Amino acid sequence: MDPIAVRTQFDREMRRDARPDAPGCTVERVGDVVRQTGPAHAWNGVLWSGLDAARADAAIAGQVRHFTARGLAFEWKLYAHDAPGDLGARLRAAGFTAEPEEALMVAGAEDHARTGPAARLPEGIVVRPVTDEAGVALVTEVHERAFGTDASALRRQLLDRLAAEPDTVAAVVALDGDRPVSSARLELQPGTRFAGLWGGGTVEEWRGRGVYRALVAHRARIAAERGYRWLQVDASAMSRPILARLGFAQVSTTTPYVHAP
């Protein structure tokens, strides 16, 4: 892998030329900014910007006006290689709050599906696809137990996608009997080479036993079967070392800057 070349592809396909990622959302380019706007439970924010120091503050103010007029909180997804170099400081000065930094990590989908070491599930664990409201309830239960955060927005997002665009998301849940212990999803954008791994979480008592790694391999197989070349993850500090051991390469970092109306 050429990390710079892959990052350039990612910037072009998934950021600059992004498509809406959920029903009811629109993506538009306004000057030097590409943004997505949708319902309050959807992801709202700035995906890409091509700014310099002279234009940055006006562009930031314009996005604040746009989303605030709609009563929406939104995220400016800032990558370490974005310009200008002080864009993060400018966002903080405009009232944004920085959330924890994540690593943008990439691996080959076909290679990982074929040779990834994470294919074996612990004894007694089965993986089920999520296709209906009952399955979504299991995913959100895991999310709330694993991360300690409210999952109501995730629930609505998944239900919307499964109802209107089922080919763009593959959610799975790992079960110990009838008890969900881990869940994750694969997000697919037709016409791109990147399949996103999102939401991977395992309840505390099952961590360190290979469930997370197995769900990475499971989703890699789905992505490869559907013709996607790359797996992409915004990795937290917890998942970053696991993914590195599985052969994922870090090509940048990203920090969510959040603005509330």
- pLDDT digits 0-9 by tens, 190-228: 999 999 999 999 999 999 999 998 999 999 999 999 999
Given a contact cutoff of 8 angstroms between Cβ atoms, the answer to whether 250 and 243 are in contact is no
Given a contact cutoff of 8 angstroms between Cβ atoms, the answer to whether 256 and 75 are in contact is yes
Statement: residue 118 has pLDDT above 70? no
Statement: residue 95 has pLDDT above 90? yes
> Does one domain contain both 116 and 236?
yes
Q: What pLDDT does 261 receive?
A: 87
260 inside domain = no
Indicate which CATH number applies to the domain containing 242: 3.40.630.30
258 inside domain = no
> Does one domain contain both 17 and 41?
yes
> Does one domain contain both 127 and 116?
yes
Model confidence, pTM: 0.92
- Return the closest-CA partner of residue 223 out of 120, 105, 104, 111: 111
- pLDDT digits 0-9 by tens, 158-200: 999 999 999 999 999 999 999 999 999 999 999 999 999 999 9
**What number is the average pLDDT over the span 226-241?**
94
> Does one domain contain both 74 and 98?
yes
Q: Which helix (H) or strand (E) holds 221?
A: helix 211-225
Statement: residue 116 has pLDDT above 70? no
Question: Of 88, 103, 118, which residue sits at a domain end?
Answer: 103
Statement: residue 117 has pLDDT above 60? no
Residues with Cβ < 8 Å from 65, sequence gap 6 or more?
none
> Does one domain contain both 36 and 140?
no
Question: Of 103, 119, 138, which residue sits at a domain end?
Answer: 103
257 inside domain = no
Structural domains in the chain (count): 2
Given a contact cutoff of 8 angstroms between Cβ atoms, the answer to whether 199 and 185 are in contact is yes
Q: Which helix (H) or strand (E) holds 254?
A: strand 249-259
The domain of 39 spans 3-103
- pLDDT digits 0-9 by tens, 44-83: 999 999 999 999 999 999 999 999 999 999 999 999 999 9
Statement: residue 120 has pLDDT above 90? no
**What number is the average pLDDT over the span 20-27?**
94
> Does one domain contain both 86 and 191?
no
> Does one domain contain both 124 and 234?
yes
> Does one domain contain both 65 and 193?
no
> Does one domain contain both 69 and 165?
no
> Does one domain contain both 54 and 98?
yes
Report CA Rg, the chain: 18
Side-chain-facing half-sphere of 21: CA atoms under 13 Å: 25
